[in-house]
Amino acid sequence: MPLETEIIGVKGEIIQLTWDFVALSIMLTVGLREGDPDFKVKLLRNEEETRIGDLPMDEWIDFSWQPIYYLNTKAPLWKVGEHKVQNNYEFKINDERTIILRKGYKLRMRRVSK
């Protein structure tokens, strides 16, 4: 089943991003950080397990090889398919790309059968 995702701005507009695993990972990181800050993640840089809520605000977890459908979390993004962003975030991916999520944006995801 495909995963359908979207980010909706504070005025109801769809936030246009280049969708790839980086954008998806950032969306999932914010959803977990705010919805289940005690959720444990293993960091690639040092293999340590840490609470996602303890990560620096500009750090994100690469979910490209994670079983995202099956994470055991209480985060609303997973439980009800929606999360309202509570903080402002800016993720600098490289010199040409920055992903910004603002307080009040809605993150949505759901599995769909087509």
From CA 87, how far away is CA 85, in angstroms rounded? 6
Can you give the pLDDT at residue 1?
63
- What local confidence, expressed as pLDDT, does residue 112 receive? 81
Maximum mean pLDDT: which of 25-29, 45-49, 60-64: 25-29
Give the model confidence (pLDDT) of 70-109 as tens digits: 889 999 999 999 999 999 999 999 999 999 999 999 999 9
DSSP letter string over 10-36?
TTSPBPP---SHHHHHHHHHHHHHHH-
Retrieve residue 38's tokens. Answer: 């005690």
Local confidence band at 46 (pLDDT 50, 70, 90 cut-offs): low
Please state, in angstroms and as integers, the Cα–Cα distance from residue 75 to each residue in 43, 49, 84, following that order: 19, 19, 11
- Mean pLDDT over residues 55-59, rounded? 92
What's the confidence (pLDDT) of residue 70?
A: 84
